[in-house]
């Protein structure tokens, strides 16, 4: 399967402002790219590319006064296979966890492990351990929290989601991630592309998506508390402790968003040679 990926993001900048952008496909998917994955910035300004502390491809630049456009169109090959599941995958005892997974057990900006631990123990302490317990968490969040774009609020934490029972994509994942950490299951927040492939097309504008990964057995497994089903065509961009670590763009000053369009569409082999829309 081939998937056309892209975005067109525009800002109005009133005075020059440093910015960070996490807009590339994750290094783990680079071998699947059929076309270059370039972050195109207009006007043409110096851009420094680097790998951040979580292993994500990132870049930094200083946006000049005026209109700033960040865009890209690339093509990636995907297996077309739904998310892998293994209900026999075991939870790893804390003392046996790889060192690099330990930060994903801790409190973070949006994930209050200390405050939600008693609740997690009450709700899921007796659930079958392993993959099934993480799936039980996803089922609970999916059934108890109401999704809606009007509920979006950038300051909402996992505890707020638990008490308010409303939220958007990131809120569902923050609560599920926190519950996992409360039970000593490393969990990390993920952002990436998730187009309407193999599911009814959503009437809402395409956006980047959020899901999460839990460490079980000997690897990271994909879970999605928002959709609570396996999906085809996920393309990983960045991982982190929560949404703070994987913000698509971060401006250290004033930058007003003017346009935000995302593309994630399946294309056929004979269509892949056609020029992408600019």
Asked whether residue 142 falls in the same domain as residue 226, the answer is yes
pLDDT single digits (tens) 72-86: 999 999 999 999 999
What's the CATH code of the domain at 147?
3.10.620.30
HSE value, Cβ hemisphere, 13 Å, CA-based, for 21 = 27
For residue 154, tell me if it sits in a domain.
yes
List the Cα angle 144/150/152 in 5-degree steps: 75
Q: What is the pLDDT of residue 202?
A: 87
For residue 278, tell me if it sits in a domain.
no
For residue 273, tell me if it sits in a domain.
no
Asked whether residue 256 falls in the same domain as residue 193, the answer is no
Nearest CA-CA partner of 234 in 224, 246, 245: 224
Asked whether residue 125 falls in the same domain as residue 188, the answer is yes
Asked whether residue 239 falls in the same domain as residue 103, the answer is yes
3-state secondary structure of 78: coil
For residue 160, tell me if it sits in a domain.
yes
For residue 275, tell me if it sits in a domain.
no
Asked whether residue 121 falls in the same domain as residue 54, the answer is no
Asked whether residue 132 falls in the same domain as residue 178, the answer is yes
For residue 89, tell me if it sits in a domain.
no
Q: Which domain holds residue 258?
A: 2-80+247-267
Asked whether residue 227 falls in the same domain as residue 119, the answer is yes
Q: What is the pLDDT of residue 269?
A: 77
Q: What is the pLDDT of residue 65?
A: 96
pLDDT single digits (tens) 158-185: 999 999 999 999 999 999 999 999 999 9
Asked whether residue 256 falls in the same domain as residue 232, the answer is no
Number of domains in the chain: 2
What's the CATH code of the domain at 76?
2.60.40.2250
Q: What is the pLDDT of residue 277?
A: 44
Asked whether residue 34 falls in the same domain as residue 99, the answer is no
For residue 237, tell me if it sits in a domain.
yes
Measured in degrees and rounded to the nearest 5, phi and psi for residue 219 equal: -165, 170
Q: What is the pLDDT of residue 164?
A: 98
Q: What is the pLDDT of residue 168?
A: 97
For residue 12, tell me if it sits in a domain.
yes
Structure tokens at 264: 């994630």
Q: What is the pLDDT of residue 275?
A: 53
Give CA 268 to chain center in angstroms.
Answer: 26
Task: List alpha helices for the chain, DSSP H.
Answer: 113-124, 131-144, 158-164, 169-182
Asked whether residue 231 falls in the same domain as residue 115, the answer is yes
- Residue 121 CB contacts under 8 Å (≥ 6 apart), including other chains: 182, 183
Phi-psi region for residue 233, left (φ > 0), alpha (ψ -120 to 50) or beta?
left
Per-residue pLDDT of the chain (278 residues; tens, 9 = 90+): 999 999 999 999 999 999 999 999 999 999 999 999 999 999 999 999 999 999 999 999 999 999 999 999 999 999 999 999 999 999 999 999 999 999 999 999 999 999 999 999 999 999 999 999 999 999 999 999 999 999 999 999 999 999 999 999 999 999 999 999 999 999 999 999 999 999 999 888 899 999 999 999 999 999 999 999 999 999 999 999 999 999 999 999 999 999 999 999 999 876 655 555 44
Asked whether residue 157 falls in the same domain as residue 201, the answer is yes
Query: Is the separation of the CB atoms in 33 and 24 below 8 Å?
Result: no
Asked whether residue 71 falls in the same domain as residue 199, the answer is no
């Amino acid at each position: 399967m081939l998937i056309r990926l892209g975005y067109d993001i525009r800002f109005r900048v009133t005075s020059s402002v440093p910015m960070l952008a996490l807009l590339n496909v994750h290094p783990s998917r680079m071998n699947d790219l059929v076309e270059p994955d370039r972050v195109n910035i207009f006007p043409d300004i110096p851009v420094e590319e680097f790998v951040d502390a979580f292993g994500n491809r990132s870049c930094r630049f200083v946006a000049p006064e005026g209109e700033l456009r960040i865009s890209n169109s690339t093509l990636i090959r995907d297996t077309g296979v739904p998310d892998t599941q293994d209900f026999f995958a075991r939870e790893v005892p804390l003392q046996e966890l790889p060192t690099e997974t330990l930060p994903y057990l801790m409190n973070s900006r949006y994930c209050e492990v200390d405050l939600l631990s008693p609740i997690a123990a009450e709700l899921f302490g007796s659930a079958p351990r392993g993959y099934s317990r993480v799936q039980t968490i996803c089922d609970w969040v999916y059934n108890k929290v109401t999704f809606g774009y009007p509920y979006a609020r950038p300051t909402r934490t996992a505890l707020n989601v638990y008490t308010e029972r409303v939220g958007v994509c990131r809120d569902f994942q923050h609560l599920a991630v926190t519950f996992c950490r409360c039970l000593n299951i490393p969990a990390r927040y993920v952002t990436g592309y998730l187009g309407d492939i193999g599911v009814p097309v959503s009437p809402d504008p395409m956006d980047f998506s959020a899901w999460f990964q839990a460490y079980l057995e000997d690897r990271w497994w994909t879970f999605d508390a928002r959709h609570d089903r396996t999906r085809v065509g996920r393309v990983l961009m960045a991982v982190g402790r929560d949404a703070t670590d994987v913000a698509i763009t971060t401006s250290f000053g004033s930058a007003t968003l003017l346009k935000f369009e995302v593309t994630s569409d399946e294309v056929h082999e004979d269509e892949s040679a056609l020029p992408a829309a600019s």
